[in-house]
Amino acid sequence: MKKKRLVTRTIILAVLALAVGYTLYANMNKDKNQKIEVGKPAPDFVLVDMEGNKHRLSEYKGQGVFVNFWATWCKPCEREMPYIENQYQQFKDQGVQVLAIDSSESELVVNKFVERKGLNFPVLIDKDGQVQAAYGINPLPITFLIDKEGNVVKSHTGELTEETVREFMEQIKP
């Protein structure tokens, strides 16, 4: 009888400890995965592209910015890159900029991918994951449309078609 009580009390104590631990974990990570609100300013960031040039989001005020978070291992990301490149070529002279932010991969892997796909827009690597955390990225791919004032117009999670990329660039064209 005493053994049964001891086992029951131990199980209850373990469940309570897990609940408290989960609550603490969830509260500590709440700010890391904040959601970006449409109509609000996009979190500013500075990242370096594959040529070593710094890109600060706030320096693109006056232009529409198509921010795409991706990775080389992500098949939907790979499939949408040619569409983004095609539309970038159409819209770059109309005030639309593309910033493709890779998910913490090595420069060698990203460079090979960029060369293989023939990408001409800035490709940045978020080496420490801070920009992804600021934007609450999960899962990939995810795209944010930022207007000429620096406000988030829309976010889209999942693979893009070429028609969708064109529509999105039209929406942020200044």
- Concatenate the DSSP letters of all residues of 77-126 into one string: HHHHHHHHHHHHHHHGGGTEEEEEEE-S--HHHHHHHHHHHT--S-EEE-
Residue 39 lies in a domain: no
Residue 22 has pLDDT above 90, yes or no: no
Whole domain around residue 18: which residue ranges?
A: 1-32
φ/ψ of 47, rounded to 5, equals -135, 160
Residues 121 and 143: their CA atoms lie apart, in Å, by: 15
Tally the domains of the chain: 2
Q: How confident is the model at residue 31 (pLDDT cuts 50, 70, 90)?
A: very low
The count of other CB atoms within 10 Å of the CB of residue 52 is: 6
- Selected residue with higher pLDDT from 27 and 107: 107
CATH code, 87: 3.40.30.10
Mean pLDDT value across the chain: 90
Whether residue 88 sits in one domain with residue 16: no
Whether residue 94 sits in one domain with residue 21: no
Whether residue 145 sits in one domain with residue 107: yes
Taking residues 134-140, report their average pLDDT.
88
Whether residue 119 sits in one domain with residue 65: yes
Whether residue 63 sits in one domain with residue 120: yes
Whole-prediction pTM value? Answer: 0.78
Residue 20 has pLDDT above 50, yes or no: yes
